[in-house]
Amino acid sequence: MKKIPTLFVRDFTARPAHVLPTITPGCEWVIAGEGEATRKYDGTCVMLDQSGEWWARREVKRGKTPPPRYVPISTDDETGKTVGWEPVTQSSFAKLHAQALANTGSTSPGTYELLGPKINGNPDDYDDHILMPHGWSALCIRQDFATAPRDYDGLREWLHARPYEGIVWHHPDGRMVKIKAKDFPRPQRSATPTRPVEPAI
């Protein structure tokens, strides 16, 4: 789980911090029209490894002691936070993950978004906890994301007019880039967010 770069450079001196209309070096392929735009879900990341063990994403602040069996992946130079994995059974999401696993029966190795009533305020109004495979969306959602622009002003307006947390672009060679709606400064006025009706998986 390497940290996914943000499409635009972030201004950490602003309060709150937000992105500027400057492309993050290495992310130019998104602006060039490469890769597929997919929905970024507002949950928490978990992973099933090749041996069948589940892991939960965990951030450890600078100077803090990591939990047992913690596997660090990368450290943010700006914030000092280290991102990595801890066994899901010892994480604060253990019980919710067990419910989601019982509901969806996910058995393919890979990363998933843990979503549901007790995760991040449940902005998508799920009735129960589920595991959503990263990169998967219903057809109506994929069609909507195909209309997403790739310029600063266009993306800001597109995301602020919808209820999605953000976008993740997937390049065929495996590279990924993200942008969140909250990364942009909020407009003075915004349209009431609308979304396609997404069927349960």
- Say if 190 falls within a structural domain: no
Comparing 133 with 198, the larger pLDDT belongs to: 133
Measured distance CA(30)–CA(22) in Å, rounded: 13
- Condensed to tens digits (0 to 9), the pLDDT of residues 76-117 reads 887 899 999 999 999 999 999 999 999 998 889 999 999 999
- Condensed to tens digits (0 to 9), the pLDDT of residues 13-39 reads 888 889 999 999 999 999 999 999 999
Q: What is the pTM of this model?
A: 0.77
Residue 199 in this model has a pLDDT that exceeds 90 = no
Q: What is the mean pLDDT of residues 132-155?
A: 93
Written as one string, the DSSP assignment of 103-154 is HH---SSEEEEEESTTSTT-TT--SS-EEEETT---HHHHHHHTT---SHHH
Whether 106 and 136 have beta carbons less than 8 Å apart is answered as no
pLDDT of residue 190: 45
Q: What is the mean pLDDT of residues 52-69?
A: 95
Cis preceding-peptide flag for 172 (omega within 30 of 0): no
- Say if 1 falls within a structural domain: no
What DSSP state is assigned to residue 165?
-
How many domains does the structure of the chain reveal?
1
- Condensed to tens digits (0 to 9), the pLDDT of residues 156-193 reads 999 999 989 999 999 999 899 999 999 998 765 544 55
Exposed, middle or buried: residue 63 (CB in 10 Å: 0-12, 13-18, 19+)?
exposed
Q: How confident is the model at residue 69 (pLDDT cuts 50, 70, 90)?
A: very high
Amino acid at 58: R
- Say if 22 falls within a structural domain: yes
Residue 9 in this model has a pLDDT that exceeds 50 = yes
Residue 70's domain comprises 8-183
- Say if 2 falls within a structural domain: no
Q: How confident is the model at residue 147 (pLDDT cuts 50, 70, 90)?
A: very high
Measured distance CA(84)–CA(7) in Å, rounded: 22
Residue 127 in this model has a pLDDT that exceeds 80 = yes
Residue 195 in this model has a pLDDT that exceeds 80 = no
